Amino acid sequence: MTSSLPDLEAILLVGGQGTRLRPLTLGTPKPLLPTAGVPFLAHQLARARSFGVRRIVFATSYKAAMFEPAFGDGSAFGLSLEYMTEETPLGTGGAIRNAAEALTSGPSDPVLILNGDILSGHDIGDQVRTHLARQAAVTLHLTEVDDPTRFGCVPTDASGRVTAFLEKTPNPVTNRINAGCYVFTRSVIDSIPRDEVVSVERETFPGLIESGEVVLGYADRTYWLDVGTPAAFVRGSRDLVLGRLGSPALPGPAGEHLALDGARVSPEAKVQGGTAVGARAVVGAGASVVGSVLLDDCVIEPGALVTDSVVGTGARVCAGAVVHDAVVGDRAVVGPGNELRHGVRVWPDVALPERAVRYSSDV
């Protein structure tokens, strides 16, 4: 269900380096990585638009110049987009404060803030209405995860008020975590110091709670994923292709696989489990590709096996190679007989030579 609000403004945080996603993020910032056939952010933009967001300010830093060519003025999404760049990264709070210079909202208006690496099925309109009804300073979307140590741990009281914000604590007090989508009352953003490195998670939220401001939790159990690691990135793309999370930006019907223009998939290949096949990519006869992201112009030779992996732009997985839970960088070549498993990452342009299969009698 979508419930829209009139003319909501948003800030999208997209300045992080995406370190955990290297080598994919060496040339492309995380929010622009092709995910289910389109730049990751296209899914977030289309979804925000469906809830009544009309204007979004991008808070950019790492590879800042790549965002405007990708999204322009936003008219293709029915949005108006602005780009604000930090000379040096200012952290999440400093980035929000810097981007706020481009907002048109008044001091008491709600402003939506989105981490730029989240897929979420939650009702943004309901989150904003809850914020307004409770006259909160900030309302945080919360979700539950199995391992809260990698996130912001957010306990609440019976009324839904946030009682503490514990960023990446080794001793989480609840599985409920910060899901990376906030509603701020505009004046609260303006109280963040300007041109300084500030973390909303480590400074702003704990400070607001300490000083008795109403910081509210908006908890739900809809689809939620941070795509910040290779395994999560692959899962996000797969879930979008399979339709587990609906996205207005999906460039085709949901199904077992999605193939972009010019892709050539042999009728004798098995391509399923939500695999996205990039433009002009080739999958040969007898190859099996399951739950993976094949970027543009890559080649999966006949008989190769690729599962839960990313194969970079122009890369090649040769006949008889196995790529499972791995990342193959752009233009890299995985020679015949190689087996990549357990999160292995091959850097761009690396060529792994043919590996002769050894039999026990050889040893």
Active site members: 168
Q: Which one, 207 or 286, has the nearer CB to ligand GDD? A: 207
- Which among 326, 333, 363 is positioned nearest to 348, based on CA atoms? 333
314's tokens: 């122009």
Q: Which of 8, 10, 11, 13 binds ligand GDD (CB under 6 A)?
A: 13
Using CB atoms, what's the residue nearest to ligand GDD?
15
- Residues near ligand GDD (CB under 6 A), total: 26
Residue 114, both tokens: 């989105």
Query: 217-256: which residues touch Mg ion (CB under 5 A)?
Result: 226, 228
Burial 133-147 (b: 16+ CB within 10 A, else e): eeebbbbbbbbebee
The distance of closest approach from Cβ of residue 195 to ligand GDD in the complex, given in angstroms and rounded to an integer, is 13
Nearer to Mg ion, 63 or 316 (CB): 63
Segment contacting ligand GDD (CB under 6 A): 39-47, 85-93, 125-133, 303-311? 85-93
The answer to whether residue 201 forms part of the interface with Mg ion (CB under 5 A) is no
352 binds, among Mg ion, ligand GDD, none (CB under 5 to 8 A by kind): none
CA dist 339 and 305 (Å) reads 9
Q: How far is the CB of 19 from Mg ion (least distance, A)?
A: 11
Binding mask of the shown chain, residues 285 to 324, with x at each position contacting ligand GDD by CB under 6 A = ----------------------------------------
Interacting residue with ligand GDD among 25, 28, 115, 247 (CB under 6 A) = 115
3-state secondary structure of 132: helix
Residue 198, token pair as written in the block: 């500030």
Question: Distances in Å between the alpha carbon of 259 and those of 268, 311, 327?
Answer: 15, 14, 20
DSSP one-letter code for 68 = H
Beta bridge partners of 270: 288
Whole-number Å distance between alpha carbons of 191 and 104? 16
Beta pairing class for 166-167 and 152-153: antiparallel
Asked if residue 298 lies in contact with residue 315, where contact means CB atoms within 8 angstroms, the answer is yes
Please say which residue, 32 or 306, places its beta carbon nearer to ligand GDD. Answer: 32
* Chain residues in the site for ligand GDD (CB under 6 A): 13-16, 59-61, 86, 89-92, 95, 115-118, 151-152, 167, 177-178, 180, 201, 226, 228
